[in-house]
Amino acid sequence: MTTNPLKRLRPGARGLLVGLLTAVFLAPFYLMLRNALMDSRSLTSPEWTWWPSPMHWENFTALFDDPALHLGRALGNSLLIAGITAPVSTLLASAAGYALARIPVPGRGVLLALVVATLMIPGSVTFVPTFVVVGSMGGVNTLWGIVAPGLFNPFAVLLFRNFYLQFPSEIEEAGRLDGLGWLGLYRRIALPSSGAMLASLGALAFIDSWNAFLWPLVIGQDPSAWTAQIALSTFLTSQTINLPGLFAGAVVTVAPLVAMFLIAQRYIVEGIATSGLKG
């Protein structure tokens, strides 16, 4: 009995493909760490070096020793902003999605249309009006001025709505027999059942808030309100470019995101799979 040679090659081919894709995705992290451990001369040299020797670990300590950079404070600001924006925006989106999916109120379709319409408006159109509103309320150079506009996430609202539309109505009917109202049904039944969605969208909101640049740049004009991304931009000026410092700062600022993704990757996949979005 002869066997198909393609069957014997499939596991090896799959392993080779996975290895190639892994190398492609890990290449940016390798380049960041390699460049962060080099000096300016070797980094700009035309001769390629796979790994620096010696390794300049002082590039990392210089980040926090620079009094003009305020990287430690900037990292703290980014952590505080993302730590507030992610859970609050996710919970607000969950509550709004549940209301749009379950509570039969007049005008619910109009409200859903308005939420969808906000996704069609370019951010450049609302940027200046948002700045005028936040500035008139004294939000310039404050952390709350950076946080407030990011608390409403219409895309997350739609994902939660799709999720709650698939939620079994029999469970809610059992809750009504126990005397629960809409708020009780949401708080005690629907919300605990959406843990995967909360974790996945919360992680994505954390990453999006951590990587935000333009809005924190405009609002946080004082160094005390800088985020990590704004602090990194100081390495690029019209006079000088500190490439080793820039790559070292990139390694430091991307580390929390990598940790967040490694922790939440299972929930991200599960949350998207249960959101009602079918490929």
Name the token pair of 47. 């001769």
* Cα(253)–Cα(234) distance, integer angstroms: 14
Structure pTM? Answer: 0.82
Residue 93, number of CB atoms within 10 A of its CB:
27
> Residue 41: what pLDDT?
83
What are the residues facing 241 on neighbouring strands?
236
DSSP 219: H
DSSP letter string over 51-101?
Answer: S-SS--THHHHHHHH-TTT-HHHHHHHHHHHHHHHHHHHHHHHHHHHHHHH
Backbone φ/ψ region at 240: left (φ over 0), alpha (ψ -120 to 50), beta = beta
| Burial zone of 34 (CB within 10 Å; 0-12 exposed, 13-18 middle, 19+ buried) | middle
Name the token pair of 38. 């080099």
Q: What angle do CA 145, 134, 216 make, to 5 degrees?
A: 40
CB within 8 Å of 59: residues ≥ 6 apart:
36, 37, 244, 245, 247, 248
Per-residue pLDDT of the chain (279 residues; tens, 9 = 90+): 445 444 555 666 777 877 888 888 888 899 899 988 888 888 777 888 888 888 888 888 888 887 777 888 999 999 999 999 999 999 999 999 999 988 888 888 898 899 889 888 888 888 999 999 999 999 899 999 999 998 999 999 998 998 898 888 888 788 888 788 888 888 888 888 888 888 888 888 998 999 999 999 999 888 888 998 898 888 776 566 778 888 888 899 998 888 888 877 777 666 655 554 443
Determine the angle formed by the axes of helices 71-102 and 243-273, rounding to 10 degrees.
20
Backbone φ/ψ region at 141: left (φ over 0), alpha (ψ -120 to 50), beta = left
